[in-house]
Amino acid sequence: MHSLLVGILRIGIAAAVLFGLFAQAVIIPTTAADEVDLFPPYEPYALPYVIASILGVACVQVALGATWMLLSMVERNAIFTRSAFRWVDMIIGAAAVATVIALAAAVHLTFDTIPSPDDGMDAEGALLAALACAAVGAAFSMLVVIMRTLLGKATEMQTELAEVI
């Protein structure tokens, strides 16, 4: 892989991780506090949803960190080794945890009676967003599992080829 492309990807990963840290520290708590100020009945839901949001962003950051390590392995031409599986498994795990968090939020939004303000904002929008996040997370997890299988086959083939040569 071209080193310029790897460098650009690393800049993007670093920017995404830094933005995620800013979101975890400032955007998510501030937005939740603003919503509670506008509609006080949301107060019991603020902390659990802030925690779920921060954990969801943390899952993305873990996956980005694992991607960074896989890029390092690509640069060293060591991607077809058993150690690459650890990082791919970390991506799968982070995606699965994020999917479970989104699914838990969807279940909560489905079965709990959440008050709605008079401005027309209902929990249905949040429910659809949580379901969409869960669906995307599940699809991404399955895609990475398939890619892990392909990595396994490519690693076996390279090992066999190395033995022949």
DSSP codes joined into one string, 66-106: HHHHHHHHHHTT--SSTHHHHHHHHHHHHHHHHHHHHHHHH
How confident is the prediction along the chain (165 residues), in pLDDT tens digits per residue?
688 899 999 999 999 999 999 999 999 999 999 999 988 988 999 999 999 999 999 999 999 999 999 999 998 988 898 899 999 999 999 999 999 999 999 999 999 888 877 766 677 888 999 999 999 999 999 999 999 999 999 998 988 888 887
pLDDT of residue 93: 98
What is the CA 99 to chain-centroid distance, rounded? 8
Amino acid in the structure at residue 85? F
Residue burial 125-157, b: 16+ Cβ < 10 Å; e: rest:
ebbeebbebbeebbebbeebeeeeeebeeebee
User: pTM score, two decimals?
Assistant: 0.89
